[in-house]
Amino acid sequence: MGTSAGWGRAFWLDCLWGAAVVLVGAAAWARYRSPGPSELARQAAAGLADALATLEDPALPPEDRTRLYEDRLKSTEALLRRGIHANVLDSEAVQRLAVVDWELGVLGGNPDPERALDLIRLSSARAPRVPSNLLALGELLLRMGKPDEARQFMAKSVALSPELGVQAITAMRSAGLPLEEIVRALPQSPELFLALEDPYVEAGRESDYAELLRPFLSRHGASLIPGFGRSCLRIGDAERLVDTLSTLTPFPGPNDECERERYLAVGYNVVGRVSEAVDAATRATTLSPNDRTLWELKGMIELESTAPSAAEPSFRRALALSVGPEVDSHARAQLYGELGRALEASERPDEAVDAYRMALSLDGEQPIARSRLGQLGSPITAR
């Protein structure tokens, strides 16, 4: 009797152990066959990118683009829903689902703004400080025709990550928002002002861009002075450049002050105040003695001064600094051409010819060297 009972217990224990092994194995197999949350997120991101690429593929007929776009959005939607089910805290998946859901609704002729807004609120609540997520939600709101709500998300994203300014500006301009409204909506920073340069140039409003920067020059110096200077010079208003920069209090930092002197030198030279231009360029090279471009600028201004022979040491210094892979042969050839002009101004034509030939050895089409050698009656052959 005892033996029979013991055998019975052993039998059922073996059965239970076998069942446990089967269950564990089935669970492991299910995990093996089903991608995890991170893999689902990766597949969904790739699917959304693929759908957008299909929509913009010029090799496909328009009707095929739309059909394939919709099919791939539906596949992506299924992946996103599985991913969210696997990880309910994935705010990025919720954000993408909002985009996909809205796009499918538009394609089907029945967009559901309230459902999209619910997903937007859910995603932003789960990740209130993730800039890329907030930016994507703002872009969706713009597509939904809700610029007021979109501005709030764009502003938060750029405040958290100023380098997203270019993307935010592009999205807001694509939605038809005027530049003034974009400037008011986004937090002011040097990164934002730099990102606004191209939009203002494209709109033909460079004077407005210069005025936008002017109040912030004393605060952001080296970050904004180049953009301000470029705008003034492109519209032919060097007087505004000189008047503005000359009235700024000198900056305590050498980088900021160097940029002020650089653009003062250019501005003075353009308006014909060459002596002051040379002085400003000299101060700039003192502040940044290893900047090749400053020595070249100084030499070019000196060539136009009453003592053009003074340009020779400036160009030689620029050449001495023109080393390394970042300086190409065309830049060095340009400097040799300019050095030749300085040597001619010093009445040393033979040395000028050598400099021009060196320029042509680096760049056979160097315009200064080709022109001057022709006028000097010297053969255009590299040394």
pLDDT, residue 249, reads: 94
**pLDDT, average across residues 279-288:** 97
In this predicted structure, the answer to whether residue 168 has a pLDDT above a threshold of 70 is yes
In terms of Cα–Cα distance, which of 107, 180, 98 is closest to 142?
Answer: 98
pLDDT, residue 301, reads: 97
333 touches 362 (CB < 8 A):
yes
The token pair that represents 46 in the structure block: 């790739």
- For the whole model, what pTM was predicted? 0.73
pLDDT, residue 43, reads: 85
Alpha-carbon span 120 to 99, nearest angstrom: 9
The token pair that represents 112 in the structure block: 């559901």
DSSP line for 165-181: HHHHHHHHHHTT--HHH
DSSP line for 53-81: HHHT-TTS-HHHHHHHHHHHHHHHHHHHH
pLDDT, residue 70, reads: 85
Q: What is the mean pLDDT of the chain?
A: 86
59 band by pLDDT with thresholds 50, 70 and 90: confident
Residues 73-92 have pLDDT tens digits of 888 888 888 888 788 778 88
pLDDT, residue 28, reads: 44
Alpha-carbon span 250 to 80, nearest angstrom: 56
Q: Please list, in sequence order, all residues whose beta carbon lies within 8 angstroms of the beta carbon of residue 248, skipping any fewer than 6 positions away.
A: 217, 218, 260
pLDDT, residue 29, reads: 38
Alpha helices in 214-291 (DSSP H): 217-234, 238-247, 254-270, 274-287
Residues 186-211 have pLDDT tens digits of 999 999 999 999 999 999 999 999 99
Domains of the chain: 196-289 (1.25.40), 317-383 (no CATH)
Burial label, 298 (beta-carbon count in 10 A; 0-12, 13-18, 19+): buried
- Which of the residue ranges 83-87, 95-99, 308-312, 321-325 has the most confident prediction, judged by mean pLDDT? 308-312
54 band by pLDDT with thresholds 50, 70 and 90: confident
12 band by pLDDT with thresholds 50, 70 and 90: very low
**pLDDT, average across residues 284-304:** 96
Residues above pLDDT 90, as percent of the chain: 58
pLDDT, residue 139, reads: 92
Residues above pLDDT 70, as percent of the chain: 89
Collapsing DSSP to helix, strand or coil, 271 comes out as: coil
Residues 227-269 have pLDDT tens digits of 999 999 999 999 999 999 999 999 999 999 999 999 999 999 9
DSSP line for 121-140: HHHHHH-TT-HHHHHHHHHH
Alpha helices in 252-366 (DSSP H): 254-270, 274-287, 292-303, 311-321, 329-345, 349-362
**Core vs surface per residue 20-42: b (16+ CB within 10 A) or e:** eeeeeeeeeeeeeeebebeebbe
Alpha-carbon span 95 to 80, nearest angstrom: 10
Alpha-carbon span 255 to 288, nearest angstrom: 8
Residue 67: how many other CB atoms lie within 10 Å: 14
**pLDDT, average across residues 91-101:** 84
The token pair that represents 5 in the structure block: 């009972």
**pLDDT, average across residues 85-112:** 84
Alpha-carbon span 207 to 185, nearest angstrom: 21
* Token pair 């593929």 in the structure block, residue: 57
- Which of the residue ranges 24-28, 32-36, 124-128, 341-345 has the most confident prediction, judged by mean pLDDT? 341-345
In this predicted structure, the answer to whether residue 36 has a pLDDT above a threshold of 70 is no
In this predicted structure, the answer to whether residue 339 has a pLDDT above a threshold of 80 is yes
Phi and psi at residue 177, to the nearest 5°: -75, 135
pLDDT, residue 273, reads: 96
Residue 129: how many other CB atoms lie within 10 Å: 11
pLDDT, residue 269, reads: 97
- The H or E element spanning position 375 is helix 367-376
Please tell me which residue, 17 or 257, carries the higher pLDDT value. Answer: 257
